Structure 1
Amino acid sequence: MSTSADDYDSLSPEDRQIRDKEDRAREKVEQDALPYKWTQELDEVDITVPVPKGTRGKDLVVVIQKKKLSVGLKGQDKILDGELCQEIKMEDSTWTLEDNQLVLIHLEKINRQQWWENVLKHHPKIDTRKIEPENSKLSDLDGETRGMVEKMMFDNQQKQMGKPTSDEMKKQEAFKKFQEAHPEMDFSQTKFS
């Protein structure tokens, strides 16, 4: 198990790389040992549970509750059963049987701004600080959000080059127009903060 964040912060970059590699290897072993595979986005969790080939929907017992999940075959021990690490939206969470051998479970998170450390509380955790979400393309965003992101990117680039941000440029342009409209005024002592 990983040591505290304080210990991690005191490590050299090379030692951090070694620790990260060891942690990822340990996590992989722990996750591979689970009777299911899972992936997540900030707003959802998808779980794949293998079942014997030829399984039919009526052979399954799947329970999805706000804080509980269980999957099993009738008359047998459950494949997974326990308390979810976070609450879900039951009305938007579903399960299906694919190719009579995979139970696909889709869970909608209530807290859409938090990565899950695990699916069930008693299962091994992953280090959510190391999650690298897929990059979304600017073209995937709605117009308003896209404009905001593009402005932030431009302003950040301008700051790195020591140039004015878009807001500073607007202020300077407005001042220049005001100055041209009032040539009789002395603006020599004017400063921008």
Structure 2
Amino acid sequence: MSDTQDDYDKLSPEEREIRDKEDRQREAQEQAALPYSWKQALQDVDIVVPVPKGTRARDLVVVIAKKKLSVGLKGKEPIMAGELCQDIKVEESTWTLEDQSSVEIHLEKVNKVQWWENVLTLHPKIDTRKIQPENSKLSDLDGETRGMVEKMMFDNQQKQLGKPTSDEIKKQEALKKFQLAHPELDFSKAKIS
């Protein structure tokens, strides 16, 4: 654990609020100074890079690689270039030119359960512990993730009501089937764990 985290833990709630406000202001200033703006969800990152009005796609040089991103105008220094803080899925990442005035980049994260501290490693970091994710709907999730979340919600509700979880229900059903298939066995002292 870092010294700053130890210091933070020793602060009163009022002092924490002041420190958090100062940190948010500093982060906002650092992020505003970047040559682009960005936002993220757990699964992706969206970046907007302003370019001179009238820019056409053929005037741009955009490189999207697994661990690298570069955006610029042909024959000039890149507007942004460097190593990405995390790996991306190149085949699912895209860029478009909007209104001949901005390049909009969509990056699909490889690790969809980790917040990014920054886009490029050379830029200032944000405190990912203070990210407030947008509420998502179950319908936004892919089938496997949705099923897992629904199971967790069901199991949590069952525990609160003092009822068996989905895994416990499955075990009880399996035992009942086994008992029906083997009536000659005595299950009076059987325990399910």
Letter in structure 2 aligned against 1:119 = V
Evaluate the alpha carbon distance shift between residue 49 and residue 16 of structure 1 in structure 2; reply closer, same or farther with a 3 A threshold: same
Cα distance in structure 2, aligned partners of 1:42 and 1:142: 13
How does 1:114-133 map onto structure 2 within 5 Å? 114-133=114-133
Secondary structure of the structure 1 residue equivalent to 2:30? helix
Q: CA deviation at 1:143?
A: 6.8
Output the CA distance in 2 between the equivalents of 1:153 and 1:17. 32
Partner of residue 58, structure 2? 58
Other structure's SS at 1:48 match: strand
Q: CA deviation at 1:138?
A: 3.3
- Residues of 1 paired with 2:69 and 2:142: CA distance? 34
C-alpha distance 114-144 of structure 1, shift in aligned 2 (>3 A): closer
Report what 1:69 is aligned to. 69
CA distance in 2, matches of 1:143, 1:96: 29
1:1-36 deviation per Cα after TM superposition (whole angstroms, max 9, x unaligned) = x96211111212221111111111110010011010
TM-score (norm 2): 0.77
Q: Tell me the distance in 2 between the aligned counterparts of 1:24 and 1:131.
A: 11
The whole-number CA distance in structure 2 between the counterparts of 1:71 and 1:121 is 15
- Identify the range of structure 1 (147-156 vs 133-142) with the bigger mean alpha-carbon deviation: 147-156
**Which residue is 2:184 aligned to?**
none
- Counterparts of 1:86-101 in structure 2, within 5 Å, are 86-101=86-101
Paired position in structure 2 for 1:20: 20
Aligned residues: 189
Q: Over residues 96-149 of structure 1, what are the superposed CA-to-partner deviations in whole Å (9 max), with x where a residue is unaligned?
A: 111111101111112222111000001000011111211112344567755654
Counterpart in 1 of 2:41? 41
The residue number in structure 1 matching 2:84 is 84
Structure 1 distance, partners of 2:19, 2:4, is: 12
Q: Secondary structure at the match of 1:126?
A: coil
| 1:192 shift after superposition | 9.6
Q: Deviations over 1:129-174 (max 9, x none)?
A: 11121111234456775565455445545656778767779999xx
Show structure 1 runs of 4+ deviating over 3 A: 138-172
Aligned equivalents of 1:143, 1:61: Cα separation in 2: 37
What CA distance in whole angstroms lies between the structure 2 residues aligned with 1:60 and 1:142?
34
- Aligned equivalents of 1:101, 1:171: Cα separation in 2: 60
* Separation in 1, partners of 2:169, 2:27: 49
Looking at structure 1, the residues matched to 118 and 146 of structure 2 have their Cα atoms a distance apart, in angstroms, of: 32
Q: 1:122 to 1:89 in 2, by over 3 A?
A: same
Determine what percentage of the aligned residue pairs are the same residue.
Answer: 76
Residues 13 and 165 of structure 1, relative CA distance in 2, 3 Å threshold: farther
Following superposition, the deviation at residue 64 of structure 1 comes to 1.3
Moved more, 160-169 or 3-12: 160-169
Amino acid of the residue matched to residue 6 of structure 2?
A: D
Output the TM-score relative to the length of structure 1. 0.77
Q: Distance in 2 between matches of 1:143 and 1:111?
A: 18
